Amino acid sequence: MDKKIKSEIHKLCESSKINYLASVNEDGFPQMKAMLTMKQNNMKEHFFSTNTSSKRVSQFRKNPKASVYYCEPDGFKGVLFTGLIEIFTDHDTKAFFWREGDEIYYPKGVDDEDYCIFKFTAETANYYDGEGGISTHAIKELM
């Protein structure tokens, strides 16, 4: 893999404050939601927090297929990851990702039953360079 592409994808993931997470609804249609990335590891694993009572949680419990899109709106660059979601509700995982200010969303703290963590594990990535170029990569190529 071209080192420049790998660097561009990594930079895009690091700089993007908001990304878009897509799930599949009960009728088989994709649904997208803007999310804040809590952490991402080498472009393979991406972590998000959300409400356990949310529509996304019930959708991912039925169908863990997902995609995550990071973009640079001014330059039209973006990367689309496809893979699978896991849902974590255990204390240790939630405590690891807990941030000051999260109590606004989860007033009972780390052990709030309405607080969970999504772990998205990417299998492929499509990178759009903003100049019409698209490249598709297996995630192992990006590691």
Token output for 20? 């878009």
pTM value is 0.87
Q: Which pLDDT tens digit goes with each residue over 51-107?
A: 999 999 999 999 999 999 998 877 678 899 999 999 999 999 999 999 999 999 999
Domain range annotation of the chain: 3-142
What confidence score (pLDDT) does residue 63 get?
97
Q: What pLDDT digit, counting tens, does each position of 99-136 carry?
A: 999 999 999 999 999 999 999 999 998 888 766 666 66
The Cα–Cα gap between 120 and 8 comes to: 20
- Residues in a beta bridge with 59: none
Cα dist from 17 to 26, 71, 77, 123, whole Å: 29, 9, 14, 22
Two tokens, residue 70: 């990071």
CA distance readout (Å), 50 to 12, 37, 38, 77, 115: 23, 11, 11, 26, 6
Q: Which residues of 104-143 are buried (b: 16+ CB within 10 A; e: fewer)?
A: eebeeebebeebbbbbbbbebbebbbeeeeeeebebeebe
Looking at per-residue confidence, does 100 or 142 come out higher?
Answer: 100
Query: Yes or no: is domain 3-142 CATH 2.30.110.10?
Result: yes
